[in-house]
Amino acid sequence: MKNIVLLPGDGLGPEVMAEAVRVIGWFNDNFDTKIEAEQGDIGGGSYDKHGTPLSDATLDKCRKADAVLLGAVGGPKWDKVDYALRPEAGLLKLRKELDLFANLRPAKVFDALIGASTLKPEVVKGLDILIVRELTGGVYFGEPRGIEKLPNGERRGVNTQVYTTHEIIRVARVAFELARKRNKKVTSCEKANVMESGKLWREEVTALHASDYKDVQLSHMYADNCAMQLLRNPSQFDVIVTDNLFGDILSDEASMLTGSLGMLPSASLGAVRPDGKRAALYEPIHGSAPDIAGKNVANPLATILSAAMMYRYSFNLSKEADLLEAAVEGVLAKNLRTADIMSEGCRKLSTSDMGAAVIAELDALKPKMAARA
Ligand code: IPM
Ligand code: MG
Q: With bands split at pLDDT 50, 70 and 90, how would you rate the model's confidence at 369?
A: confident
Q: Look at residue 269 and tell me whether its pLDDT is greater than 80.
A: yes
Q: What's the rounded mean pLDDT across residues 202-210? A: 98
The answer to whether residue 122 is domain-embedded is no
Are 228 and 315 members of one domain? no
Whether 248 is in the pocket of ligand 1, judged by its Cβ within 6 Å, is yes
Q: Does ligand 1 have an atom closer than 6 angstroms to the CB of 89?
A: no
261 lines ligand 1 (CB under 6 A): no
Average pLDDT, the chain: 96
228 and 294 share a domain? no
Taking Cα atoms as reference points, which of 128, 257, 114, 127 lies closest to residue 182?
128
What is the Cα–Cα distance from 68 to 94, expressed in whole angstroms?
10
* 178 shares its domain with 84: no
Does residue 112 sit within a domain? no
Total structural domains within the chain: 2
Q: What is the distance between the alpha carbons of residues 94 and 200, in angstroms, rounded to a whole number? A: 27
- Nearest residue (by CA) to ligand 1, atom 1, is 248
Whose alpha carbon is nearest atom 4 of ligand 1? 248
- Where among 235, 257, 279 does a domain terminate? 257
Last residue of a domain, one of 257, 291, 323: 257
Closest CA to 355 of 17, 13, 4, 10: 17
How far is Cα 20 from Cα 359, in angstroms, rounded to an integer? Answer: 10
Question: Could you tell me if 234 and 171 lie in one domain?
Answer: yes
Ligand 1 in reach of 88 Cβ (< 6 A):
yes
Q: Looking at the domain assignment, is residue 111 inside a domain?
A: no
138 and 247 belong to one structural domain: yes
For the annotated catalytic residues, the residue numbers are 140, 191, 224, 248, 252
Helices (H), 55-195: 56-64, 87-97, 121-124, 165-180
Same domain, 194 and 315: no
* Ligand 1 closest atom vs CA 74: 6
Ligand 1 mutation target, pool 70, 73, 81, 92, most atoms within 8 A of CB: 92
Confidence (pLDDT) at 219: 98
Domain for residue 116, yes or no?
no
Pocket of ligand 1 contains residue 48 by CB under 6 Å: no
Residue 63 lies in a domain: yes
Question: Cβ contacts of residue 310 below 8 Å, gap of 6+?
Answer: 4, 67, 69, 267, 280, 282
Domain co-membership, 264 together with 335: yes
Task: Characterize the bridge pairing of strands 239-242 and 128-134.
Answer: parallel
Q: Residues 147, 244: one domain? A: yes
177 Cβ contact list (under 8 Å, min separation 6): none
**Distance in angstroms (rounded) separating the CA atoms of residues 110 and 263:** 9
- Is residue 144 within 8 A of residue 160, CB to CB? The reply is yes
Q: What is the CATH number of the domain that holds 21?
A: 3.40.718.10
Task: Judge whether 72 lies within some domain.
Answer: yes
Is 277 found in the same domain as 246? no
Per-residue pLDDT, averaged over 225-241, amounts to 97
- Ligand 1 neighbourhood includes 253 CB (under 6 angstroms): no
Provide the pLDDT for residue 276: 86
Tell me: the pLDDT tens digits for 51-70? 999 999 999 999 999 999 99
* 358 CB within 6 A, ligand 1: no
- Domain shared by 200 and 146, yes or no: yes
Q: What is the pLDDT of residues 246-266, one digit of tens each?
A: 999 999 999 889 988 889 999
Q: Are residues 231 and 268 in the same domain?
A: no
Last residue of a domain, one of 237, 257, 277: 257
pLDDT by residue (tens digit) across 296-350?
Answer: 999 999 999 999 999 999 999 999 999 999 999 999 999 999 999 998 999 999 9
Distance of alpha carbon 157 from alpha carbon 119, whole angstroms: 37
Q: 164-173: per-residue pLDDT in tens? A: 999 999 999 9
- Quick: pLDDT tens for 135-152: 999 999 999 999 999 999
Residues 41-50 have pLDDT tens digits of: 999 999 999 9
Q: How far is the CA of 252 from the centre of ligand 2 (A)?
A: 6
Q: Where residue 371 falls among pLDDT bands split at 50, 70, 90? A: confident
**First vs last C-alpha separation in the chain:** 25
Confirm whether 114 is domain-assigned.
no
**Half-sphere exposure (Cβ direction) of 107: Cα atoms closer than 13 Å:** 29
Return d(Cα 163, Cα 199) in angstroms, integer. 10
Task: Give 234-288 as a DSSP string.
Answer: GGG-SEEEE-HHHHHHHHHHHHHHTT-GGG-EEEEE-PPPTTS---EEEEESS--
Confirm whether 206 is domain-assigned. yes
206 C-alpha to ligand 1 centroid (Å): 28
How is 205-244 classified by DSSP, letter by letter? Answer: HHHHHHHH-TTSEEEEEEHHHHHHHHHH-GGG-SEEEE-H
pTM for the structure as a whole: 0.94
160 and 277 in a single domain? The answer is no
Q: Would you state the pLDDT for residue 230?
A: 97
Percent of the chain predicted with pLDDT > 70: 99
Q: Give me the percent of the chain exceeding a pLDDT of 90.
A: 92
Do residues 153 and 143 make contact, with C-beta atoms less than 8 angstroms apart? no
User: What range does the domain containing 239 cover?
Assistant: 128-257
- Among 91, 95, 250, 268, which is best to mutate for testing ligand 1, by the most ligand atoms less than 8 A from CB? 91
Atom of ligand 1 nearest to the CA of 91: 7
Write phi, then psi, for 67 (nearest 5 degrees): -165, 160
Closest CA to 189 of 165, 235, 221, 161: 221
pLDDT digits (tens, 9 = 90+) for 75-128: 999 999 998 999 999 999 999 999 999 999 999 999 999 988 889 999 999 999
Closest CA to 356 of 278, 288, 301: 301
Q: 373 falls in which pLDDT band (50, 70, 90)?
A: low
